[in-house]
Each structure stands twice: as structure tokens, then as C-alpha cells.
Amino acid sequence: MRILLVILLFSFVHAVSAQNDSVPYNLYKEQLVLKSSLGYNTAPFSIRGDFNSTIETLKYRANMNAVLGLGFSYKWLSLGLNFALPGYLKTTTKFGETNYFDIDLNFDIKRWYFAFDIHSYQGFALIDAVRFSDTLVSPGSSNQLKPNLRSASIGLNGYRFKNKFFNRKAALGIVGNYKEDVTSFFVKYTMNLHGVANSTGLMPSDHLNDIRSIVSSNAFSAFDFGAVPGYLYINNVKGWQYGGMAGLGLVLQSKFYQFNNTTRGFLGLAPRYDLRLMGGYNVSNWFCMIDLHFDNKTIRFNDIRYGQNYYYVRILYGYRFKKNKIKQPS
């Protein structure tokens, strides 16, 4: 509902904004751009259900590192490398250690924007597992560590923007910037394979007093596809550039859960919404932008609902080197 309100707000406030025929952005593809980023990405999830009179939600959290990125852009070529910084952001006694793997591939074709991503996270903590039994937790912690619990997601998304004046590169700020505001509706065509699994079970079934087979499940998974409409807004006022894009829709979903070497599958609809916000200072020769992206995955089996939020927040800085002018002979 919050995402829908954001979309409606953008629509009513900026739908009357007139777009002139001039290009509202600058591109600096002919300049060498050196860039660096510092960020944090994670994928917390929860399992909701009426397990008993006191337990309705099981929360799982990963333990992540800060990520340093280095790269450059020049003409059609863009390269970036990300490095996990030493140490974890949370104490390993309470949250354990998480191994993770992330790949994001993005490219543009005319007014289409394509995004391919792979995310894999292994090692989670069941928050406040002491509620079920103090035998589940280690000394000095109220959480149960699940080092073999893994979540994964593979997605392919294609965005079609209605407004010809929207340029993703200028919106992100790496090789361009906007000179005025621009709005556009878009449709995100999405296809995803995602889920979570653990060989010894996802939930503390022995302590929930629930005999349903799904409570003893060791894996949830789903394949879904569909179209998600949305709205975007970008503006730059005296070098301060800000904006965002939000989408809300439904996907057709084939979903499964596994228990005791048995797999049960179902077909249904699932909500899909995502949100991306960007803001910072972006002028001709340098930029410093904050980029926040939020993507939600859900699977629902009657009274049991699994929901996972993949998100990241990054501070991106870069400098654009101007081309040397060729001196004319006197």
C-alpha cells in the first residue's frame, strides 16, 4: 500500500509537468569517469503463520560486510569491481557469519533497460529463538545460528519507459546529469526464480507444537513472471539531483515446499513491488549520489507466508576528466 501511495503521489504532483522538445540531460560519455562506492546489501526474510497463541512471525537475519566498489566508465565501456571489507557489521556470536555472492548486469537498448541479477546468501540467524527453547541458542546469544541456511534469487527484468526523455545513465549520475525535471510511466517485465532452503529444516518445528507438514519443511521455492507498472521522477536543482521510481503489480507464480523427501506444488498470484531512490550532488565534473534499492519476494501457502527483502544502500562518488582541447596553430 505504501508503494502504491508513492506512485499515486508522483503521478498527481508531476503529471501536469510539461516536457519541452529540448533534451533535459547532459551525457559525458566522451569523458573518462573514475568512480568509487561504499555500500551495504542484505536480504532479511520472515515466515509468518499462526503457529501457536504466542508465535506468529519468525525473523531471519544475515550478518554482512560493508562493500567497497571501484571502477571506471569511458564511451561504451563500463567496468566495476566490488570488494567485501574485513569484519562483519554485527557480532558473530549473535548473528554468525554469512557468505554471499552478488552479480548485477545492466544494459540499455534505446528506451529499454535490462537488469540481470544473481544473489546467494548462506548463513542466517533466527532472531529471539530463546522464545522457543534456551537449548536452541548458544551462550551469550538469544538467537539460533543457522550456518547452512541459504537463500537465492535469479532475476531477469526488462523496463520499458514511456517518456523518451528519460535516460537511466543520466538518472544514476555516473556518465550524466539532468538539467530539469522529467517524469514517466514504465512497465517492468519480470521473471524470477527464488527461494530459501536448509537441510535441517527452516523452522524450529519441534518447539512450535504444530503438526502441519509445511512447518517441517526444509525448502520454499518459486518461479514467477509478470508485468509490474510504475512511475518515476527525476529532477536537478542547482546541482542537487534527486528522484525515484516505484512499481506495484502482480505476477503469476508456481510455488513449492519440500518436507521428508516430498515436494508439493501450487499455482497462484503473488504481489510484486520495488522501490528505488536516488539523491545527491551531480554537476559537470563530479558527483556524489546515494542510491537505495528495495526489491520484495513473497511466497504464500494458505496460512504460511514467506517474505524476503533484497535491498542495498550505496554512496557513489566519481570524477569526470574533461577532454584536453587541441590547440590551434598560431
Question: DSSP letters along 32-53, please?
Answer: EEEEEEEEEEE--EEEE---SS
Q: Give tens-digit pLDDT for 62-76.
A: 999 999 999 988 887
Give residue 9's pLDDT band: very low, low, confident or very high (50, 70, 90): very low
- Which residue has better confidence, 8 or 64? 64
Residue 7, pLDDT score: 45
Please check the confidence at residue 105 and state whether its pLDDT lies above 60: yes
pLDDT at 258 over 90: yes
Contact 26, 177 (CB under 8 A): yes
- The predicted-structure confidence for 166-200, as pLDDT tens digits, reads as follows 988 888 888 899 999 999 999 999 999 999 999 98
User: Among positive and negative, which fits the CA dihedral 204, 205, 208, 214?
Assistant: positive
Q: pLDDT band at 14, cuts 50/70/90?
A: very low
For the chain, what is the mean pLDDT?
Answer: 87
pLDDT in tens, 110-120: 788 999 999 99
Domains defined along the chain, listed by start: 2-15+39-321 (2.40.128)
Once rounded to an integer, what is the mean pLDDT over residues 4-11?
46
Which phi and psi angles does 206 have, rounded to 5°? -65, -15
**Whether residue 297 has pLDDT greater than 70:** yes
pLDDT at 109 over 50: yes
What's the confidence (pLDDT) of residue 21?
58
pLDDT for the residue 138: 80
What pLDDT is recorded for position 29? 82
3-state helix, strand, coil in the chain (%, to 5): 10, 60, 30
pLDDT of 53 above 70: no
Q: What nine digits make up the cell of 254?
A: 508456481
pLDDT band at 324 (very low <50, low <70, confident <90, very high): low
In this predicted structure, what is the pLDDT of residue 223? 97
